[in-house]
Structure 1
Amino acid sequence: MLEIGEVLQIEKPHNLDDFTSYINQQRRKEKADWEASHNVSWFGNEAEGTKGGILAMWDNSKFAVSSVEYGHGWIGLFGQNVLTGFLGAVVGVYALYNQADRLLLWKDLRILKAAFECPWFLARDFNETLLRSDRSSDFINKVGSTAFRLFIDDCNLIEYNMSEGSYTWFRGGSMSKLDCIFSSLCCHLQFPLLSLRRLPRGFSDHCPLILGVLPIEKGWIPFKFMDCWLHHPNFKDIVKGIWDEACNEFSGQFKLIKKLSFMATRLRQWNWVGFGHQETALALIQSNISAIEQKSEYGKLSTAEQNSLDSLIKKQWQCNLHIESMWRQKSRQIWCRLGDRNTRFFHLIANFRRAKNYLLKVVHNGSVVEGLPVIKRCGTSLERDITLEELKQSVWDCDGSKSPGPDGFNFKFYRLVWNFIADDLLKAL
C-alpha cells in the first residue's frame, strides 16, 4: 500500500505538519513560477469549514495593486489602473447561505468602504436578491433583501445590468440572479462603455460574469439635430439658405431625402465651424475670465476691459446652457427641465444608454440571428401613407426633441422650417 509521502514524493512523512509544509512550499513555488512567466499576481482567501474560499488574480501590467485587504467572505484589491491612472478598488465577495453571516459581511464591507474612500467595483456571489423578478419563483426574503439593499445604498453603489439573460444561478428548475457587479458613480462615468455579460456556466451552478467593453463593430454615426442650435440668433436664416441651395432637380420623396441629406451634411460642417465645440469654447471663455479678473486684482479695469468681462460672463452662461441641453438630449430624460445643473446625472444616463445600445441578436422569421452583418441584412422598414393634416398634427403633438426617422432631424426642426418645407414634404408623401 502506498503512503501519502510516497505518492507526493515526500521523504519519510512523520506527521501532518510535514505534509502541510510541503504543500505550502509547492504553492509558493508555483505562484513564483506563474508570476515570472505571466506577469500575473494572485491572492487567496482560504476556505474555513463551510465558509468558501476566494481567489483574486490580476495583471500587473494593467492594474497596479498597492494594498490587499481580506476577511471572511471577501478580498479587496486597492490600486491604480495603469492605462488611465484611475485609483480605485476591486472587491470580490462570496456571501454565505446563512443570513446572520451575510449581515456580518455587509457590516465588514461598510467599515472597509469608510476606511478606503475611493471608487469601488464590488462583484460576485452575494447569495441574496434585490427584487422578486431576480428569482424564477418570485420568492423574496424581505429581511435579507432589505438588509442587502440598505448596504448597497449606504455604499452608494450602482448595479450593472446584464446585456442578455436574467439569471446567473441554475439548479434543477430553479433560477436566480445571485451574482452581480456594482460600482461607484464615478466608475460609470470614467468607464462609460463597460457592459456586463454572462458566460456559459459549464458544470457549475453559477455563470461566470465578465465586465468589459463589447467587441462590437462601430458603424456609421448618424446625424442628430441638436436643440441648442435653435438658440443661435441666425439659425433659421442659415437653415433656409441651405434648404434653398439643396438639390431641386428631383421630385417626390427622393427630392426630400436628398435635401435632408444635404441639410445634415451642411449642418455638421456649420456645427464645427460656425457654432463650435461648446465645451472647448466654455474652457476658453473661463480662461479669459480668469485672466481679466486676475488683472483686476492689481488695478481698476478700463471700460473696454469691463465690457469684455461682462460679455464673457454672458457667453459663459450661454455655453453652459448649450452643454446642459446637449447632455439632456443625449440622455433622453424629457422629464427634467433645462436650467438645472444635473450634468453628472445626464452623463450617467447617456453612458448607460450607450453601453446598452447594442443589438447582440434579433429574432427574424422565428429564428434567432446573431452578428452585426446578419442583423443588418434582416433589417426592415415600415411605411404607411398619411394625410397632410395627420402629419402636421403628429409633428405638433410629439415631443420636440424626438426624431421621427433615422435622418436625425427632430420635431423642433420640422416646426421651425414648416413654412418652406411643407410643399416638399407633401410631394414626398
Structure 2
Amino acid sequence: MGKDGTSGAQGNAVRDVPEVAACGNARGAGAGARQGTVSHLEGEGTQKEQRQENQATWALAVESGAVLCDEEEDIMAILQAQNEEIAAKKKLAKQKEKARRSRPKNQNKGVEGDGKLSMLKSLKNKYNLNMLGLLETKKEVITKYEVARLWGSSTAGWEFVESAGMAGGLLLIWDEGVFQVDQRYKGERWLCVEGVLTKTNFRCAFCLVYGAHGREAKREVWEELSYVAGLCQIPFCFLGDFNEILQVEDRKGATSLMASSEEFKEWVRDMQLIDLPLTDRKYTWFRGRSCSRIDRVMVNVEWTEVFPDIRIKGVPRGLSDHCPVIMELTRVTGPPRPFRSLDAWFTHEGFLRMVKDEWRSLGEAQFPCKLRALAIQLRQWHKDNFRDMDKRLVRFEEELTKLDNSVSDGVYDGTTEARRKALVSFCSKWYIRKEMHWKQMSRSKHAANMDRNTRYFHNIALARRRNNRIDALI
C-alpha cells in the first residue's frame, strides 16, 4: 500500500481539481452577475447624486451673486466633466489593484524568486558563513520570519534597506554569536553595521554597497561612504557590487578607463583602501558576451594588520548573473620564501665589506654552492643588523627624550649637542631604511616619492603576498 496508495491519492486529487474549479466558476458567474447589477445601480445613483449636488452648488452661487444666470450651462458642463474624470481615475486605480493582486507570485525575481532562496540556503550551509550580504532583494519590507527562513535559525542579527518598488534593496545578516552590532547606518545604496568580532575582540565595521549607474549618482555614493567611514573611525570593510572597475583588465574588451572609473580609482586611493585580489577567477558579472569584475571587497590598512592573511574567492554564480564572493579570515601557512636582496642593505656601512670577506672565505667552491652558502650568511647578517627596526627607532627616540629632559633640568655639557645630533642622524637613517624596505616589498606604483607612510607600503606588500600564494593546482 505504501507507494501505490500514495500515488493513487495524488491522482484522485488531480482529477478532482477541474470539478472543484468548474463549480467555483459557476458560482462565481452567478455572484458576478449579481455584483454587476448592483454596481450598475450604484453607478446610476452616484451620478444622480452628483447632478443634484452640482445643481445645489449652482443655486447657491446664483443666490450669492457669484455668477450670472447665462453661465449656468457652461459651469454645469465643467463640473460634469470633472466628475467624469474623477470617476475614470478611480476605475483605473481599481483595475490596477485587481491586476496586482492576481499577478502570480513566482514573477518575483528577488531573493525568493525562481529557486534563489534554496540556492542561498545551500550557499550559507556549504561555506559555513557567519555573515551574508544580499543585493537587489526587490523587497520593500523584510520580516524576521523571512530572515529566519533564509538563515536557518532565529538567532541571526539583520538589517535591510528597502527597495524602490521592484528595484534595488539590500539585506545584511550575521551570526550574533560571532559579530555583535551596536551601531547601524543606512543610505539609499549602502548599509553599514559597526560592532565587535567576539573571537578576537576586534572592533570593526562592514559596509554593503550597491553602486549607482550614473556618474553623478556614483559620486554621491562615494561621498556618503567617505563620510560614514570618517564617522566610525575604525577598521572598515567595503563589500558588494560597486558597478565600476579599477583597471582595464577588469572588463572584457575594454581598452581604457572611463571618467567614472578614474574617479572611483582616485576615491580608493584617497581612502587608502586595499582591493583584495580575486585569484580563482577573472570576472564576477556575466550577461551575454559582456563580463566584468565589478564585485569586490576592499579593506583599509588597520584591517590587514589584524588579519594579514585575509583573502577572497568567487563561487559559481548559479541562478544569478553575479558570482558570490566569499571573504575568509583564516590564517594560511605557505612554503619558505625565496632569498632576496634588499635595497636597504646597501645603506649599511659594513654590508659590502662583509659580502667580500664571506665570498673570499668560501675559496674555490663551485659558484652555485658559494651562492647558497652566502645566502645563509646574509640571512643571519640581516637578523643581526636589520631585525626589529621599529624597536631600534623606539630606543633612539627614547634616548632623545631623556636628553631633552636632562636639558630641561639644566644639565648641559659639551657632549650634549653632539649626542643629540648623533641620535637624530641614527633616527633619520633607520626611518629611511625602514621605508626603503617596505616600499621594495610593496612594489607600489602610486608612490613616486618616498614618504613616512610605511604602514601603507607594508600592507600593500601583504596583499601581494596573498595574491602570489598558490592555494591549489588543478
Give the Å deviation of 1:247. Answer: 6.4
Counterparts of 1:146-157 in structure 2 under 5 Å? 157=273
Judging changes above 3 Å, is the alpha-carbon distance between structure 1 residues 51 and 104 closer, same or farther for their aligned structure 2 residues? farther
Give the Cα–Cα distance (whole angstroms) in 2 for the partners of residues 286 and 141 of structure 1.
46
Tell me the equivalent position of 2:470: 359
Give the Å deviation of 1:299. Answer: 1.5
Where 1:55 maps in the other structure, the secondary structure is: strand
Contact 2:160 2:170 in 1 (8 A): yes
Give the Cα–Cα distance (whole angstroms) in 2 for the partners of residues 119 and 192 of structure 1.
13
Tell me the equivalent position of 1:313: 424
Q: What is the aligned-residue RMSD (CA, Å)? A: 4.1
Select the residue among 348, 365, 372 that pairs with 1:261: 372
Unaligned stretches of 5+ in structure 1?
3-15, 17-22, 362-368, 371-429
Tell me the equivalent position of 2:153: 34
Where 1:34 maps in the other structure, the secondary structure is: coil
Contact 2:315 2:323 in 1 (8 A): yes
Give the Cα–Cα distance (whole angstroms) in 2 for the partners of residues 63 and 104 of structure 1.
29
Judging changes above 3 Å, is the alpha-carbon distance between structure 1 residues 71 and 294 closer, same or farther for their aligned structure 2 residues? same
Counterparts of 1:190-269 in structure 2 under 5 Å? 191-212=307-328, 216-246=332-362, 248=364, 250=365, 255-269=366-380
Larger of the two Rg values belongs to structure: 2
Give the Å deviation of 1:104. Answer: 6.2
Tell me the equivalent position of 2:95: none
Give the Cα–Cα distance (whole angstroms) in 2 for the partners of residues 65 and 353 of structure 1.
31
Give the Cα–Cα distance (whole angstroms) in 1 for the partners of residues 242 and 376 of structure 2.
51
2:182 maps to 1:182: no
Give the Å deviation of 1:180. Answer: 2.3
Q: Which amino acid aligns with 1:34?
A: S
Contact 1:189 1:351 in 2 (8 A): no
Where 1:67 maps in the other structure, the secondary structure is: strand
Contact 1:325 1:338 in 2 (8 A): no
Judging changes above 3 Å, is the alpha-carbon distance between structure 1 residues 80 and 325 closer, same or farther for their aligned structure 2 residues? same
Contact 1:124 1:180 in 2 (8 A): yes
Tell me the equivalent position of 2:275: 159
Where 1:347 maps in the other structure, the secondary structure is: helix
Give the Å deviation of 1:219. Answer: 0.9
Deviations 1:75-127 (A, max 9, x none): 21112444665543211123466888767655654554454444432211234
Tell me the equivalent position of 1:349: 460
Tell me the equivalent position of 1:278: 389
Judging changes above 3 Å, is the alpha-carbon distance between structure 1 residues 63 and 287 closer, same or farther for their aligned structure 2 residues? farther
Give the Cα–Cα distance (whole angstroms) in 2 for the partners of residues 116 and 44 of structure 1.
19
Tell me the equivalent position of 1:7: none
Give the Å deviation of 1:209. Answer: 0.6
Tell me the equivalent position of 1:169: 285
Give the Cα–Cα distance (whole angstroms) in 2 for the partners of residues 139 and 120 of structure 1.
32
Q: Which amino acid aligns with 2:276?
A: Y
Judging changes above 3 Å, is the alpha-carbon distance between structure 1 residues 327 and 200 closer, same or farther for their aligned structure 2 residues? same
Tell me the equivalent position of 2:108: none
Give the Cα–Cα distance (whole angstroms) in 2 for the partners of residues 235 and 106 of structure 1.
48
Deviations 1:163-188 (A, max 9, x none): 23222122343323332223335445
Select the residue among 160, 167, 179 that pairs with 1:44: 160
Give the Cα–Cα distance (whole angstroms) in 1 for the partners of residues 272 and 354 of structure 2.
47
Give the Cα–Cα distance (whole angstroms) in 2 for the partners of residues 99 and 335 of structure 1.
24
Give the Å deviation of 1:160. Answer: 3.1
Where 1:303 maps in the other structure, the secondary structure is: coil
Tell me the equivalent position of 1:63: 179
Contact 1:45 1:75 in 2 (8 A): yes
Where 1:167 maps in the other structure, the secondary structure is: coil
Give the Cα–Cα distance (whole angstroms) in 2 for the partners of residues 29 and 331 of structure 1.
44
Contact 2:301 2:456 in 1 (8 A): no
Contact 2:334 2:469 in 1 (8 A): no
Q: Which amino acid aligns with 1:293?
A: D
2:400 maps to 1:289: yes
Give percent identity, aligned residues only.
27
Contact 1:51 1:72 in 2 (8 A): no
Counterparts of 1:45-124 in structure 2 under 5 Å? 45-82=161-198, 86-95=202-211, 105=221, 108-109=224-225, 111-113=227-229, 115-124=231-240
Tell me the equivalent position of 2:241: 125
Q: Which moved more, 1:223-232 or 1:109-118?
A: 109-118
Give the Cα–Cα distance (whole angstroms) in 2 for the partners of residues 164 and 296 of structure 1.
61
Give the Cα–Cα distance (whole angstroms) in 2 for the partners of residues 123 and 297 of structure 1.
52
Judging changes above 3 Å, is the alpha-carbon distance between structure 1 residues 287 and 144 closer, same or farther for their aligned structure 2 residues? closer
Give the Å deviation of 1:242. Answer: 2.3
Deviations 1:151-171 (A, max 9, x none): 656756453332232221223
Q: Which amino acid aligns with 1:284?
A: R
Give the Å deviation of 1:260. Answer: 1.9
Counterparts of 1:320-339 in structure 2 under 5 Å? 320-332=431-443
TM-score normalised by length of structure 1:
0.63
Counterparts of 1:385-404 in structure 2 under 5 Å? none
Q: Which amino acid aligns with 2:170?
A: I
Judging changes above 3 Å, is the alpha-carbon distance between structure 1 residues 334 and 214 closer, same or farther for their aligned structure 2 residues? same
Deviations 1:394-424 (A, max 9, x none): xxxxxxxxxxxxxxxxxxxxxxxxxxxxxxx
Higher relative contact order (CA 8 A, sep 6+): 1
Give the Å deviation of 1:26. Answer: 4.5
Contact 2:247 2:257 in 1 (8 A): no
Question: How many residues get paired?
Answer: 336
